[in-house]
Structure formats: C-alpha cells, structure tokens
Structure 1
Amino acid sequence: MRVLVVHNFYQQAGGEDTVFRAETSLLRRHGHDVRTFTVSNDVIGQTLRLKAAAHTLWNAQVARKIKAMVHEYGSEIVHFHNTFPLLSPAVYSGAHAGGAAVVQTLHNFRLLCANGLFFRDGHVCEDCLGKLPLSAVRHSCYRDSLSASAVVAAMQTVHRAAGTYHTGVDRYIALTEFAREKFIAGGLPAERIAIKPNFLEDSPGAGAGDGGYVLFVGRLSAEKGIETLLRAWTELGTTIPLCILGDGPLAPQVAEAAHSLPGVSWLGQLDRADVLKLMQGAAFLILPSEWYEGFPMTLIEAWGVGLPVLGSRLGALGALIEPGHTGLLFQPGDANSLVDRARWLWDHPHERQKMRNQVYQAFQASYTPEQNHEQLIAVYTAALEYFNSSQSRRRV
C-alpha cells in the first residue's frame, strides 16, 4: 500500500510524535511504500504570529503541497496524526484532490476542546462539548491567551459549520472506546470512527520488579495528577520509595518534594531505554491523571515489561486497567484513596507477581506491532472503500 504520513510536531506532544514514528516504521517493515511530510511548531517563533494564526484556520499552501505529493508518490492513503496548528484542516481537501483517502488519528480532544484536554482550573471540563466554544475564549483555555483561544475556537467553529470533519475524513482512529464516545458526542460521524490503540514497537521483555521502588513517568503538570501524588507521598514516603521521571511546569514542586520528603527521588527526563529499564525493576507504575488520558505510551511501555499500573478511575484509564489483573484503580484527585491502594499493592507482593504475569500476557495478546499492523491496514482498507464509494456517488 502507498501511504503518505503527515504530522505537525507540536510542543510537549511526545506521545503523538512517538506514535507517528512507530507507525511509520511499522508500515515500512511490512513492505509498504511510505513517504512522510512533517512541520514543526519551532518555526512559529521565526514567522509572523498573525500568519501562523491564519494557517491554523486554512493553510492553502500546505494543501497544495499535499495534493502534489499524492500525485508524485501515487499515495492511496494520507494518514494525518496532528494538523494543529500549522497544517490546518485544509490538508484533507488537498489529499482528496490528489486522489487519496484520508485517515486522521485523534490523539487528543483538540477538535472538541481548545486545549485538547477537557481540563480547566484543576478539574475535568466539558463546557464546549457539542457546543460553540465560547467558554474556551472566555476562560482563555489555549495557552492562557484570549487571542490564541479565539483562533482555536474559530477553527473549530468554521470547520464544524463547513462540514469539514464530516466530508474531509474517510476514517478516524480513536485510541479507546471512551474517546470514541466523546467524539461522537461532539458531532463526528460514529460509523467512521474506528478504535485502534497505541502499541510498543520493541519491548525489552518482562522485568522482575525487584528494584524496591514504584514509578511515576510523565509530564510534571497539573492534569497528570502530580500534586495528588506528592500529597500522598507525604504519608507514604517513609515506607514506599517513589522515583519520579519527567519534566514540566511543576518541576519546582517535585524538586522540593525530592529534597524534603523521605523516599521521594526525582531523576528528571531520561532516555526511553533508561525508562524501560527502571520500569522492569519497579513494583508498580502510578498514573494519577486528572484529565481524560488518550492511551498514554507510558501505560503501553509499562505493560510491555509486565508492570502493573495503579491508575485513577477516570476516563479511558478506568476501562483500560482491570483491577486485580493489570493493576488497581483509585479515585482521581483523592490522595487518601491513592495512599490506600498503593499500600495494598506494596504489601501484597504475591498478588503483584500474579498481576505482572497477566499484564505481560495481555500486552502480547493485544499491543504488539503485529496486531497493530493488522488493525491499521483494516482502517486503511475501510477508508479506501469509503473514499472510492464517495467518489462514485459524486460522479453520478
């Protein structure tokens, strides 16, 4: 199959970038003719911000570029990962004009929410779901900027009104059933949203979990539940060593906790190989997220080494983590609930070992490259069928 894979590298969107690279590599390993087209937000600082804002709404230049690349490479599918902010939904029309079907992976909730998180002022917020995004502008939800939020809201409103998200995309990929239901509630066509989870490109194998510590891996930010985690470890630090990996806006609080709380260490941002090695030795991973996670690569990486996960009972995590089998759940934002569940897991090593075995078996059954390739090609095939039938209807 001939595929053009397109991605706008976006600040702090590490998971999206990882999936883009992994899927591109996966397709090439299976013999597909894969070309890529990428842009980066790094150029925004070197261009007029007014021009960048205009491109967020409609970038005709890139649309023409996509059309030309489809013609040049004979691409049957154009698979978009992220189009925000520099590519714009105009790229869908460029792909169609070139004669290719369009697939869009929904890595976050940007089509429905200005900040893409459904998170505001420390809690889940669905004020704009299925509505005009006036609340997003009023609360400056995108980068705490009224003007930038207005641009994102305008993009959402214009393309909803124009029907772009209905006519421009032949198949959407949601990462979980939870996300799919949210996008349906937001107005996307249910019959064209497939579910395909993320996957781990190369697992180092199951670990022993004998390192004598637990892990947090991720961005140090409010929506990731860092403050809840630190509150819990004011009580747990003397009994359960916690290693925190990552960086972000709450790094100063984490650094202070590592200095003042017993049992808490902060190792900063590490290479993926080092993260996986630490995961192999950890007793369990903590995902205390307070927003609707998509399908975090951290979760897939943990499962790829047989690591049980203690996660918040919120959004997709509440469905992905099976209590007693692949981990445990606690109430989001509730430090006491986290303390209770963490203590139970730590105090029951035999049960943890059972979970490790089940976690690794579940990973091998559902989240390897082989299964993901089959799922991806099924999505591409459905997109081609829909695009070709749409073209036939237009000719009639």
Structure 2
Amino acid sequence: MRVLAVHNFYQQAGGEDVVFRAETALLRRHGHDVETFTVSNDALGQTPRLQAAAQTLWNARMGRQIEGLAREHGAEIVHFHNTFPLLSPAVYRGARTAGAAVVQTLHNFRLLCANGLFFRDHHVCEDCLGHLPLSAVRHRCYRDSRSASAVVAAMQTVHHAAGTYRSDVDAYIALTEFARDKFIAGGLPAGRIAVKPNFLEASPGPGAGDGGYALFVGRLSPEKGVETLLRAWADLGGTVPLKILGDGPLAPQVEQAAHQLPGVSWLGQRDRAEVLRLMQDAAFLVMPSEWYEGFPMTLVEAWGVGLPVIGSRLGALGALIEPGRNGLLFQPGDAADLATQALWLWDHPQERGQMRLHAHQTFEASYTPERNHEHLMAIYAAAREHSAQGRSVLPKG
C-alpha cells in the first residue's frame, strides 16, 4: 500500500511525535511504500501573526502541496497525525483532490477544545463540548492568549459549520473508547471513528521489579497530578521510596520535595532506554493524572515490562486499568486515597507479582506492533472503501 504520512511537529517532542515515527517505521517493516511530510512549529516564529492566524484557518498553499505530494507518490492513503496549526484542514481537501483516502489520528481533543486537553484552572473542563467555544476565548485557553484562543475557536467553529470534519475525512482514529465517545459528543461521525491504541515498538521484556521503589514518569505539570503525588508521598513519610523522572513547570516544586521528603528523589529527564530499565526494576508506576489522558506511551511501556500502574479513576486511565489485575485506581486529586493504594500495593508483594504477570499479558494481547498493524490495515481498508463509495463502513474497533 502507498501511504503519505503527514505530521505537524510540536516545538517540544511529545507522545504524538513518538507515535508518528513508530507507526511510519511499522508500515515500512510490513512492506508498505511510505513517504513522509512534516513541518515544525519552530516556523511559527518567522511568520507574521495575522498570516499565521489566517493559515491556521485555511492554508491553501499547504493544501496544494499535499495534493501534489499525494499525486506524485500515488498515495492510496494520506494519514494525518497533527495538522495544527501550520497545515490546517485545507490539507484534507488536497489529499482527497489527489484521489487518496484521508485518515486522521486524534491524538488530543483539539477539534473540540482550544488547548486540546479538556483541562482548565486545575480541573477538567468541558465547557466547549457541543457548544460554541466562547468560553475558550474568555478564559484564554490556548497559550494564555485571548487572540490566539480566538483563532483556534474560529477554526473549530468554521470547519464544524462547513462540514469539513464530516465530509473531508474518511476515517478517524481515536486512541480509546473514552475518547471516541467524546468526539461523537462533539459532532464527529460515529461510523467513521475507529479505536486503535498506541503501541510499543520494542519492549525489553518483563523486569523483576526488585529495585525497591515506586516510579513516576512524565511532564511535571498540574494536569499530570504532580501536586497530588507529592502530597501523597508526604503522607507516606518515607514508607515507599519514590523516583520521579521528568521535567516541566513544576520542577522547582519537585526539587524542593526531593530535598524535604524522605525517600523521594528527582532524576530529571532520562533517555528512553534508562526509563525502561528503571521501569523494569520498579515495584509499580504512579499515574495521578487530573486530565483526560489520550493514551500515554508511559502506560504502554509500563505494561510492556510487566509493571503494574496505580492511576487516577478518570477518563481513559479509569477504563484501561483493571484494578487488581494490571494495577489499581484512586480518586483523582485525592492524595490520601493515592497514599492508601500505594501502601497496599507496596505491602502485598505476592499480589504485586501477579499483577506484573497480568500487566505483561495486557501488553501482549493489545499493544504489540503486530496487533497494531492489524488494526491499522482494517482502518485503511475501510477508509479506502468510504472514499470510493461515499458511505461509512468503518468498524468501531
């Protein structure tokens, strides 16, 4: 199959970028003819503000460029991972004009929420779901700027009203059933949203989990529940050693906690190989997120090495983690509940050992490259049929 894979990279590499590279490599390993086209948000600094705003709404130049690339490659599928803000929805029209089927992976909630997170002022926010995104402008949800938020809100409003998201995309990929339900509530066509989770390109295999510590891996920011994590470990009083990996705006708070709280250490950013090694040795991973996680690679990596996960009972995490099987759940934002779950899992090594086995079984059943390729081929086939026949035939998952 001939595929053109397209992605607008962020200024800081994130999970979407990792998935784009992994999925492109996966397709090539399976013999597909894949070309890539990428742009970077670094270019925004060289673009006048009004021009950037206009291009976010409709970048005709990029639409023509995608059309030309798709024709030149003979693409049967043009698979978009992120089009915001430099590519714009114009690229869908360009791909379709070239005769290719259009697939869009929904890595975040940008089509429904200005900041893509459904998170504002330290709490989940769905004010704009199913409504005109006036609240996003009022609260400066994108880059803490009323004008920038207005541009994103205009993009959402114009293209929902024009039917772009319903007519110009043959198949959407949501990462979880939870996310799929949100996009349906936001007006995307249910019959064209399939569920395909992220996957781990290569796992080092299960670890022994005998390192004598719990682990947090992620961006040190409010939506990741870092403050709840630190309050919980203050309550634990050094009973459960904790290693924190990552960086972000709350790094000074984490650094201070590492000096003040017994058993807590901050290791900063580490490369992926070391993260996986630390996961293999950890007793369990903590994911205290207070926003709707998409499908964090950290979760897949943890289960890939057989690491149980204590996560917040919120959004996708609440649906993916099976308490007592591959991890435990606690009430989001409730530090006392998190401390209780962490202490129980720490004090029950036999049950923890069983969870390690089940965590790896979860990975093998759903998150291997082979299983992901099967899902992707089914979605591509349905997208091509929809493109050719103009009717929705996409399976749910």
Shorter-chain TM band:
over 0.9
Give the whole-Å Cα distance in 2 for the aligned partners of 1:292 and 1:317: 8
1:336 match: secondary structure: helix
CA contact (8 A) 1:82 1:105 kept: yes
| Paired position in structure 1 for 2:381 | 381
| Paired position in structure 1 for 2:395 | none
Task: Tell me how large the CA RMSD over aligned residues is.
Answer: 0.9
Give the whole-Å Cα distance in 1 for the aligned partners of 2:174 and 2:289: 19
Structure 1, unmatched stretches of 5+, are 392-396
Give the whole-Å Cα distance in 2 for the aligned partners of 1:161 and 1:182: 18
| Paired position in structure 2 for 1:335 | 335
2:238 matches 1:232: no
Using the TM superposition, give the Cα deviation of residue 365 of structure 1 relative to its aligned residue in structure 2, in angstroms. 1.4
Using the TM superposition, give the Cα deviation of residue 361 of structure 1 relative to its aligned residue in structure 2, in angstroms. 1.2
Percent identity (aligned): 78
| Paired position in structure 1 for 2:16 | 16
Give the whole-Å Cα distance in 2 for the aligned partners of 1:47 and 1:121: 30
Query: Could you report, residue by residue, the CA deviation over 1:135-180 in whole angstroms, capped at 9, with x for unpaired residues?
Result: 0000000111001000000000010111000001000000000000
Amino acid at match of 2:376: L
CA contact (8 A) 1:102 1:169 kept: yes
Give the whole-Å Cα distance in 1 for the aligned partners of 2:338 and 2:357: 23
CA contact (8 A) 2:238 2:264 kept: no
Give the whole-Å Cα distance in 2 for the aligned partners of 1:300 and 1:9: 22
Give the whole-Å Cα distance in 2 for the aligned partners of 1:79 and 1:390: 18
Query: Could you report, residue by residue, the CA deviation over 1:55-104 in whole angstroms, capped at 9, with x for unpaired residues?
Result: 11111101000000011000000000000111001100000011100000
Amino acid at match of 1:358: H
| Paired position in structure 1 for 2:271 | 271
Using the TM superposition, give the Cα deviation of residue 12 of structure 1 relative to its aligned residue in structure 2, in angstroms. 4.2
1:81 match: secondary structure: strand
CA contact (8 A) 1:67 1:98 kept: yes
Give the whole-Å Cα distance in 2 for the aligned partners of 1:45 and 1:260: 40
Segments ≥4 residues shifted beyond 3 Å: none
Using the TM superposition, give the Cα deviation of residue 306 of structure 1 relative to its aligned residue in structure 2, in angstroms. 0.3
Give the whole-Å Cα distance in 2 for the aligned partners of 1:33 and 1:64: 22
| Paired position in structure 2 for 1:40 | 40
Give the whole-Å Cα distance in 1 for the aligned partners of 2:52 and 2:272: 32
Give the whole-Å Cα distance in 2 for the aligned partners of 1:48 and 1:202: 42
| Paired position in structure 2 for 1:195 | 195
Give the whole-Å Cα distance in 2 for the aligned partners of 1:30 and 1:375: 13
Using the TM superposition, give the Cα deviation of residue 11 of structure 1 relative to its aligned residue in structure 2, in angstroms. 3.3
CA contact (8 A) 2:217 2:246 kept: yes
Give the whole-Å Cα distance in 2 for the aligned partners of 1:23 and 1:184: 25
2:243 match: secondary structure: strand
Give the whole-Å Cα distance in 1 for the aligned partners of 2:88 and 2:248: 27
Which aligned pairs between 1:1-396 and structure 2 lie closer than 5 A? 1-12=1-12, 14-390=14-390
Amino acid at match of 1:86: L
Query: Could you report, residue by residue, the CA deviation over 1:90-144 in whole angstroms, capped at 9, with x for unpaired residues?
Result: 1000000111000000000000000000000110000000110000000000111
Structure 2, unmatched stretches of 5+, are 392-397
Give the whole-Å Cα distance in 2 for the aligned partners of 1:128 and 1:22: 32
Give the whole-Å Cα distance in 2 for the aligned partners of 1:53 and 1:281: 48
Query: Could you report, residue by residue, the CA deviation over 1:218-244 in whole angstroms, capped at 9, with x for unpaired residues?
Result: 011000000000111112241111111
TM-score, with structure 2 as normaliser: 0.97
1:356 match: secondary structure: helix
CA contact (8 A) 1:16 1:81 kept: yes
CA contact (8 A) 1:237 1:264 kept: no
Report how many residues are paired: 391
**Greater mean alpha carbon deviation, residues 5-14 or residues 107-116:** 5-14
Amino acid at match of 1:75: A
Give the whole-Å Cα distance in 2 for the aligned partners of 1:69 and 1:237: 59
Using the TM superposition, give the Cα deviation of residue 386 of structure 1 relative to its aligned residue in structure 2, in angstroms. 0.1
Query: Could you report, residue by residue, the CA deviation over 1:169-206 in whole angstroms, capped at 9, with x for unpaired residues?
Result: 00000000000000000000000000000000000000
CA contact (8 A) 2:118 2:124 kept: yes
**Greater mean alpha carbon deviation, residues 41-50 or residues 337-346:** 41-50
Give the whole-Å Cα distance in 2 for the aligned partners of 1:252 and 1:330: 26
Using the TM superposition, give the Cα deviation of residue 260 of structure 1 relative to its aligned residue in structure 2, in angstroms. 1.4
